[in-house]
Copies of this chain bind each other. A is one copy, B any other.
Amino acid sequence: MVKSETREPVTRERAIRVAVALADVGGIEPLSMRKLAAELGIEAMSLYYHVKSKDDILDGMLDVVYSEFSTPHAGDERRSAMRDRAESTRNVLAQHPWAISIKARNSPGLATLGHLDSVIGCLRAAGFSMPLTGHAMSILDSYVQGFAQQEASLPLDPSGDIGAATEDIMAQQDQMAQAFPNLADMAVKPDPAAGLRLRQRVRLRTEAHPRRHRSSAGRRWQSP
């Protein structure tokens, strides 16, 4: 379609970079081989020349994310290095929220391995035994990852979504306030700085399925 001198050459690295960019914009579910190929200016099956499978791309994308984490250097002070790492993890995952949902795979890339290696090296250099290093990493990573996941599940960008969405639940608020008084209490006066923002957590996803093609009086999933 476009002359080869005009089009930037396709490589595994570029495909993965473009995939990351697409996922950043539109999320990871709508990212398909066909759309990625189109973005690269080729056909879907041509991707398989550069890449094993879609999972291979996802692994590569995760490795890109790992490469953006702040990695401790030799001689870094332990506490500040771990703090930098945690903060950068939070920031990077906020920029690539899709990474959290694909984090449970098992084929780490070079950046991932390098990052973990550096972290282990930093802790060991600080005098930690190997078991203690494992424990420290488990504790830190569990919390940071879990926090990032909580944060990602909230609609952080204030795109007018919150006000409209809460109206749905407000209609039933009387019943809800009776059934879940503590929850209602927290939803009414939330702490703006708290990690949990229950009012947003509770919003219903009604706009995803706005209407049915026929009178739905009998449908089980309609509220009576």
Number of interface residues of A (CB under 8 A): 71
Q: Mark A203-224, 1 if CB is under 8 A from B, else 0.
A: 1110011000000000111000
B103 touching A149, Cβ below 8 Å: yes
Chain B residues within 8 Å of A116, by CB = 180, 183, 198
Chain B residues within 8 Å of A179, by CB = 110, 113-114, 117
Q: Among the listed stretches A49-57, A63-71, A75-83, which one makes contact with chain B, having 4 or more residues with CB under 8 Å of it?
A: A49-57
> Which of A110, A186, A203 lies at the interface centre, i.e. has the most chain B CB atoms within 10 A of its CB?
A186
- Measured in the bound complex, the distance between the Cα atoms of B145 and A149 in whole Å is 9
Q: A143-B142, A150-B142, A179-B113 are in contact. Are A134 and B195 (CB under 8 A)?
A: yes
Chain B residues within 8 Å of A17, by CB = none
A142 touching B195, Cβ below 8 Å: yes
Chain B residues within 8 Å of A117, by CB = 179-183
Say if the beta carbon of A34 comes within 8 Å of chain B: no
- Measured in the bound complex, the distance between the Cα atoms of B100 and A220 in whole Å is 28
